[in-house]
Amino acid sequence: MPFHLVVPAAGSGSRLGGEPKQFRLLGGVPVLIRTIEAFLSVRGFEGVVIAAHAGQVGRTAEMLRSFFGDGSFEIVAGGDTRQESVRRALDAVPDASELVLIHDAVRPFVTNDLVESIVDLAKRRGAACPAVPVADTLRRVLDNEFGETIDRRNLWQVQTPQAFRLEAIRASHEWAARTGLIVTDDVELYQRHVGPVVCVEGDRRNFKITDAGDWELAEILVSGGKTT
């Protein structure tokens, strides 16, 4: 089924520090380019809308042009939150497009198989999202002291791409903007405004590059496992 991709890439990467992580080179290729490349060969891919920081729209366009030529990408100025960046990008998706996938710019290791299963399920069930079961013991920490242990059964870590019917996710964002609700992902908006989302078992390699440890792991993965 044809789909459009939305990539929020307007963050500042404060936890990793330095150059915003979507522009950093991983094995010589910017993270954002690697992430978009992961979708290009998926059946049904029709185009991508990227939300870049308002001051980096020109730079992002130039970078994309140098890798993909004048292909089917569009860039919009993002907002102060991920949610606002996604909302603005959704506005730029062609109205005729039925299905939209929303994927973090900083998850470059997403596989073709995972994207295809998300597309397939969203087509049949309206909305789908990958997640992986929590593996470690979960415990609250306050002032460096352990508190309550949280039962991890049924707890999953949520990933992207998250797939929805374009009209439904746009309506969810408009509703949230009207009510002033700000949440961390699109599944939550959809669940609150439209209904249930199907969970697909994701892939631990599809992690979000967030801090220095994630960056080191990403470098090891692109180098084929060589650490020197």
Binding site for ligand CTP (CB under 6 A): 8-15, 22, 51, 78-82, 85, 104-106, 208, 210
Q: Looking at beta carbons only, is 105 or 200 nearer to ligand CTP?
A: 105
Q: Looking at beta carbons only, is 86 or 99 nearer to ligand CTP?
A: 86
118 binds, among Mg ion, ligand CTP, none (CB under 5 to 8 A by kind): none
Residue 97 Cβ, how far from Mg ion at the closest point, in Å? 27
- Asked if 187 and 159 count as a contact pair (C-beta separation under 8 A), the reply is no
Residue 223 Cβ, how far from ligand CTP at the closest point, in Å? 22
Residue 120 Cβ, how far from Mg ion at the closest point, in Å? 30
Q: Which residue has the tokens 């080179």?
A: 25
Which DSSP letter does residue 154 get? Answer: T
Cα 102 → chain centroid: 5
Residue-wise DSSP of 18-82: SS-GGGSEETTEEHHHHHHHHHHTSTTEEEEEEEE-GGGHHHHHHHHHHHH-S-SEEEEE--SSH
Burial 9-23 (b: 16+ CB within 10 A, else e): bbbebeebeeebbbb
3 state SS of 164: strand
x/- site string to Mg ion, residues 2 to 41, per CB under 5 A?
---------x------------------------------
Nearest of 125, 135, 108, 110 to residue 202 by alpha carbon:
110
Q: Looking at beta carbons only, is 87 or 165 nearer to ligand CTP?
A: 87
| 31-40 helix and 57-68 helix, angle to the nearest 10 degrees | 50
Number of residues interacting with Mg ion: please give it, by CB under 5 A.
1
Residue 16 Cβ, how far from ligand CTP at the closest point, in Å? 6
Residue 218 Cβ, how far from ligand CTP at the closest point, in Å? 13
Residue 188 Cβ, how far from ligand CTP at the closest point, in Å? 14
Q: Looking at beta carbons only, is 53 or 165 nearer to ligand CTP?
A: 53
Q: Which residue has the tokens 């002032």?
A: 143
192 binds, among Mg ion, ligand CTP, none (CB under 5 to 8 A by kind): none
Binding site for Mg ion (CB under 5 A): 11
